[in-house]
Amino acid sequence: MTRKIKVGIIGAGRIGKLHAENIVNNFKNVEIKAIADVFADKIKDWANSIGIENVYSNHREILNDPEIEAVLICSSTNTHAQFTIEAANAGKHIFCEKPIDFDVNKIKEALSAVEKAGVKFQIGFNRRFDHNFKKVHDLVKEGKVGEPHIIKVTSRDPQAPPIEYVKVSGGIFLDMTIHDFDMVRYLSGSEVEEVFTHAAVLVDPAIGEAGDVDTAIISLKFKNGALGVIDNSRRAAYGYDQRVEVFGSKGSVTVSNDTDSSAVLSTEDGVISEKPKYFFLERYKDSFVAELRDFFNAIENDTETPVTGMDGLKPVLIGLAARKSYEEGRPVRVEEIEA
């Protein structure tokens, strides 16, 4: 039997709790030794109920525990870079939720600390582990569609987040589209060279007043010559719309939305199928387990993680380029941001 990997979780909000429960239910060889959250009191009962004994209010207690090999950073975005640096310095392997930061320099500092420490680092782009998108990726990689020519991503939320969240979200391109920027990199096997953004406030004027947009078309040019386009909306009346297409010299591959069942009801009113699964927790349920499986495997077998630090940096650069393009009304090269 394999050794136990002892981990600590930093941040016990929605995503921290989700990871904790996924670990308890799915990984016999992983033990959550401790969890830290600024509101330690509030999570104690929940933590105990799933068998986590140590609940701290200060994440440093986790970093100081020599038995803990790896940490999951699930705290608020503005702490990701700092905690990554601290954890790397403490020699812990790191699974960090996206994005690392909105500031490129802070990301680079964090990645530099990781590199120096030689610890494993994985960023939480869970959609790469989704059964549909992984299948598209695999078919493209096997050459089934030939050379990619056009990559398309449709990504629409079932409803806009609260305005208070919008204000601190980093804007739609870093909060929502960032997943799509990761997706086009994953599917195309190439880097984005240039973006052009058309965007508007069509869902809710309050989003505009908060300085953000809620509807966008982002046109992309890849280093390998392929073109791409992402369309986003903060609110699709019919629910969470998550589709992609890769079109190439030999054909195309598309995926459609997942639903709770394949039931089709035919009546006088029409032929009615189910709406998409509600939102990302339902839609990407299995992917959250799958990404951790790969992270723990990388630790156990001392192999590379499937989503690296560079994969954490690039989508932020593209997101910043997308915003700049919108603000300046012109195409923006990603290297302009890096410079």
Token digits for 182? 């990761």
Minimum CB separation of residue 257 from a copy of itself in Å reads: 8
Minimum CB separation of residue 150 from a copy of itself in Å reads: 5
Pairing of strands 5-10, 30-36: parallel
> Exposed/middle/buried for 13, CB within 10 Å: 0-12, 13-18, 19+?
middle
Cα distance between residue 142 and residue 243, in whole Å = 20
Cα distance between residue 160 and residue 142, in whole Å = 37
Q: Closer to a copy of itself at the Cβ: 83 or 196? A: 196
Q: Closer to a copy of itself at the Cβ: 97 or 194? A: 194
Minimum CB separation of residue 136 from a copy of itself in Å reads: 6
Q: Closer to a copy of itself at the Cβ: 104 or 255? A: 255
Interhelix angle 104-117/77-89, nearest 10 degrees: 20
Minimum CB separation of residue 45 from a copy of itself in Å reads: 10
Q: Closer to a copy of itself at the Cβ: 123 or 292? A: 292
Minimum CB separation of residue 14 from a copy of itself in Å reads: 20
> What SS3 class is residue 126?
helix
Q: Closer to a copy of itself at the Cβ: 11 or 158? A: 158
Short-list 2, 72, 3, 1, CA closest to 34: 72
